[in-house]
Amino acid sequence: MPDAPASLVTDPAATVAERRRQALMMRACRLEPVERTPVWLMRQAGRYLPEYRAIRQQVGFLELCKNPRLSAEVMLATVDRLGVDAAIIFSDLLPILEPMGMDLEFAAGEGPVIHNPIRSAGDVSRLVELDDLDRLEFVMDVVRATRAGLDDSIPVIGFAGAPFTLASYCVEGGGSKAWLHTKSLMYSHETAWHDLMGRLARAVSRYLVAQFEAGAQIVQLFDSWVGCLGPADYRRYVLPHSRAAIAEASKHGPVIHFATGNPALLPLLREAGGTVIGIDWRIELDEAWRIVGHDRAVQGNLDPAVLLTDRDTVRRRASEILSHAAGRPGHIFNLGHGVLPQTPVENVLELIATVKGG
């Protein structure tokens, strides 16, 4: 192995920066060969962990998100227990909407509720431009606290909701199965829709850049609900705004662009941008990678429900995905969405051991 450059030997800060740059997952993002496939899981700190449930008995979800010390502790303990290769900050997609004028509540048993939804073209003006991130400084503090508690070999992942997913929450006032209010506004008031999406794209861009500046090395853009659209609608109503949200952030580090629900959108996700394209479980990994192009890294894509089965099935299905990746540089192992609350912890540990051994 060649000697380290003199600048790295004499400059501890440079040494830290280089160790972080050479982390397994960072190299995979850059399509560099790695000694094994890196693995982390969406919702890896969540309700399936008894330690997390114990904390949640003492503090509400939004309160936990706004407590940098506790949020960092939750993720640091999870990384230590699971042995994953990255730590995504403990937060949520929706707090960004509060300083933009949305009245957000996480209601027990109901999930997120927005009490003043945007239901008409005239309502869009109520969404405030996010010019000042002061009210989101707690998120940057979570990034800093998480980064400070980790070994340099473990990158910190920041994240944000994509413009469409945030817009759908703003319009629906919560979750939905059909997104009727969202599609009605999108189809009937196109100018207002693009105004709404533009405000959100600018906010997301600033938010992601701020997370990079606070110490995140990677960020992920979650488009959790965009699978309700077909390709033509995605291109017309979503793509320009997702591209705008990603463009500035990608100057600061790798961006994982993840959408669920419709594999037909994969070529458009590539077009919108992202260093890494996240793949959900509705398509085989090798086929998805062919569609995305082998000049992009991919992340995925075990069905989270597999973790509700038995260890033999977990091992077999994980090994199948690794075989689909075929050792090609640029694969990051993950689920096709987040860990389900009913998941046995031992199955998660089995999955990670399988990936590390595979």
Active site residues: 43, 47, 56, 92, 169
Residue 195's closest CA among 222, 161, 173, 163?
Answer: 163
The closest alpha carbon to 150, from 229, 76, 221, belongs to: 76
Q: Taking a C-beta distance cutoff of 8 angstroms, is the pair 121, 192 a contact?
A: yes
Residue type, 105: E
Using the 8-state DSSP alphabet, how is residue 83 labeled? -
Token pair in block for residue 292: 């995305």
230 close to 264: Cβ distance less than 8 angstroms: yes
Q: How many CB atoms lie within 10 A of CB 296?
A: 17
Q: In degrees to the nearest 10, what's the CA dihedral of 260, 261, 266, 269?
A: -50
Residues in the chain: 358
Give the containing element (helix H, strand E) for 115: none
Contact yes or no for 315/280 (Cβ under 8 A): no
CA distance 172 to 182: 6
The token pair at 265 is 């959108």
Q: Which residue has the tokens 């407590």?
A: 67
